[in-house]
């Protein structure tokens, strides 16, 4: 607040208010994981807003939302790299025995606790769909026998 950075102050106040609202509604004190989930939800909301503003040709508002995302990112856990996400997806598919898109729920259930707050859920699910589709195609190409 003393630095005079109004945007930073406002973003942090919004997160603080969102957390307070949850505490009041659920009548409990939030844990560190709960706070991380609040921040992740705020980031997700802003990413959706960026997309909507860009589609509406409002680059000024999209830039403001991106600046808010950058502020919130300072308080999030270290994000997973693309290679780390791909490795986790492969591990999840192996661990759950998934072989087709019908197994998406099992895979995402296995992945969610490991990626929560550290990767965009939408991106992770897209990667799972793509990987399972590739595995499904490979199974059909080999006459139903996976290698």
The 10s digit of each residue's pLDDT in 72-104 is: 988 887 888 889 988 988 898 888 888 878 888
pLDDT of residue 1: 57
Helix locations, the chain, DSSP H: 6-26, 32-55, 59-73, 82-96, 104-115, 121-141
Token pair of 129, please?
A: 């769909």
Q: What is the pLDDT of residue 23?
A: 92
Domain with CATH 1.10.1510.10 in the chain: 6-73
Which pLDDT does position 22 carry in this prediction?
Answer: 92
CATH code for the domain defined by 6-73: 1.10.1510.10
To the nearest 10 degrees (0 to 180), the angle between helices 104-115 and 121-141 is 140
62 close to 2: Cβ distance less than 8 angstroms: no
Answer whether 85's CB lies under 8 Å from 77's CB.
Answer: no
Which residue, among 20, 22, 66, has the nearest Cα to 46 in the 3D structure? Answer: 66
Determine the pLDDT at residue 140. Answer: 59
Spell out, as residue ranges, where the chain has pLDDT lower than 50. Answer: 147
Residues of the chain with CATH 1.10.10.410: 82-141
What's the pLDDT at 56?
A: 92
Highest CATH level, class, for 82-141 = mainly alpha
- pTM: predicted TM-score of the whole model, two decimal places: 0.63
| CA trace torsion 12, 50, 114, 91 (10° rounding) | -160
């Amino acid at each position: 607040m003393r630095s005079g950075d109004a945007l930073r102050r406002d973003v942090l106040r919004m997160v603080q208010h969102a957390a307070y609202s949850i505490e009041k509604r659920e009548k409990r004190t939030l844990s560190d994981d709960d706070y991380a989930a609040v921040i992740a939800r705020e980031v997700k909301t802003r990413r959706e807003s960026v997309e909507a503003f860009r589609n509406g040709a409002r680059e000024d508002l999209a830039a403001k939302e991106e600046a808010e995302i950058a502020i919130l990112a300072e308080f999030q856990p270290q994000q997973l790299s693309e290679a780390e996400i791909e490795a986790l997806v492969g591990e999840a598919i192996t661990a759950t025995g998934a072989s087709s898109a019908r197994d998406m729920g099992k895979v995402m259930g296995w992945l969610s606790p490991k990626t929560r707050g550290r990767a965009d859920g939408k991106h992770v699910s897209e990667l799972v769909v793509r990987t399972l589709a590739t595995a499904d195609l490979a199974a059909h190409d080999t006459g139903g026998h996976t290698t």
